[in-house]
């Protein structure tokens, strides 16, 4: 299982609303993530907008492609685009960090 961690930046003026949106993620989005192989997916948000994402998957590239092929992901990305400082979509900005240690 591949462990993936990535960083994004939520606009400071949208942090509270971003949290609210994730309190009730669309059921079809949750289902699509699971079906695409995104396991133990978590998001952590610091007060200044730094967002840390973590997931486990067999193949991150394949999991990303599977999500990109879903209609619900396109809707979610369009709805969430204004929350991020990045000019590209959150999906495109997800660059995995290099793992340097794991206590397994």
Catalytic (active-site) positions:
22
Give the SS3 label for residue 79. helix
CA angle 89, 48, 95 (to 5 degrees): 35
CA distance 49 to 47: 5
Location of structure tokens 């699971």 = 34
Helix residue spans in 1-104 (DSSP H)? 15-23, 27-35, 60-68, 71-80, 90-93
């Amino acid at each position: 299982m591949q462990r993936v961690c990535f960083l994004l930046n939520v606009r400071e003026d949208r942090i509270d609303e971003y949290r609210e949106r994730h309190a009730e993620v669309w059921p079809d989005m949750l289902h699509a993530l699971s079906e695409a192989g995104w396991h133990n997916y978590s998001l952590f948000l610091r007060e200044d907008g730094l967002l840390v994402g973590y997931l486990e998957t067999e193949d991150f590239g394949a999991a990303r492609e599977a999500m990109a092929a879903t209609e619900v992901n396109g809707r979610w990305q369009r709805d969430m685009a204004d929350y991020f400082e990045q000019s590209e979509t959150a999906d495109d900005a997800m660059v995995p960090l290099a793992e340097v240690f794991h206590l397994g």
